Amino acid sequence: MTENLSPSSVHAAYGAGDLAELSVFAGGFINFGYWAGLPADGPPTLDHRIASGIALYDLVLDEISPGDRVVEVGCGRGLGARRALTRAPSSVVGVDVTPEQVERARSAGTDPRLEFVVGSADDLPLSDDSSDLLISVEAAQHFADLSAFFREAARVLVPGGRLVLTTFFAADDDAGPKLSALLETFASGLDRAHPISRVPDQLAAAGFVDVRIRSIGEHVWRGLDRWIAQGERRDSWDRDWLRAADRGLLDYHLLTARLPAGSGS
């Protein structure tokens, strides 16, 4: 489902604009949030929204081992990459296709372990076998070619290296047109209707093993909708994320995989 998609829509959302300025992403983490353990009754507070964005990142950052060389693809403003430093990696490289986001990330301060660079998911500006862990948080839905991204991930990871990401995937090949009719970001081409059913084969073709895909939508969609429902966008198309999930058109997933220990690029 890549026809009629506009690469300029990504720049419009993240470059010329800044999604972090929208109330739905209050707190600066540009993700839908992981709401498990947060109050499920009463209106969510700003603190709850910020905690949900951090919690989604932590699902991925929990995979970091001390001393890892970490790459984040789709690093945005760099908040997650900076949080990754609390897990004692040896280095974190944040990669983003939007130059403006990379500049925002760099402007937040420096750390000798941290670097931000411009690059695309299917052409990472990194050397072969240079990383231990590649992460991505709610960015892969923008990637035009998931197979190319998985091949690039395999190239830059060392043998035994790991991939972990969160994002939302389409339920199947038929969901794309329905998602475009329901959700503006699919209609504009900002989000891509990648079917979850294809992902295991795409990862295997890139050389990954031990692929694990877990639905976490029950801890994403309703919490997100409760947050939107009380804000300035309470009557907007944003409420259709929950409707799309309830109709079985898409779901949110946590994905992990690794390269065989004896593999090489």
Q: Is 264 part of any domain?
A: no
Separation between Cα atoms, residue 160 and residue 259, nearest integer Å: 5
**Is residue 248 situated within a structural domain?**
yes
CATH number at residue 55: 3.40.50.150
Asked whether residue 216 is domain-assigned, the answer is: yes
Number of domains in the chain: 1
Averaged pLDDT, 9-30: 65
Which range, of 37-41, 64-68, 166-170, averages the lowest pLDDT?
Answer: 37-41
Buried-state track 44-81, b at ≥16 Cβ within 10 A, e below 16: beeebbebbbbbbbbbbbebbeeebbbbbbbbbbbbbb
Specify the range with the lowest mean pLDDT, choosing from 15-24, 98-107, 122-131. 15-24
Q: Is residue 112 part of a domain?
A: yes
Q: Would you state the pLDDT for residue 62? A: 96
What pLDDT sits at residue 1? Answer: 26
**Distance of alpha carbon 113 from alpha carbon 85, whole angstroms:** 8
Q: What is the mean pLDDT of residues 236-251?
A: 94
| Mean predicted lDDT score pLDDT of the chain | 90
pLDDT of 33 strictly over 90: yes
**pTM of the prediction?**
0.90
Q: Say if 263 falls within a structural domain.
A: no
Q: Please, which pLDDT band fits residue 14 given cuts at 50, 70 and 90?
A: low
Domain contains 23: yes
What residue numbers bound the domain in which 210 lies? 7-258
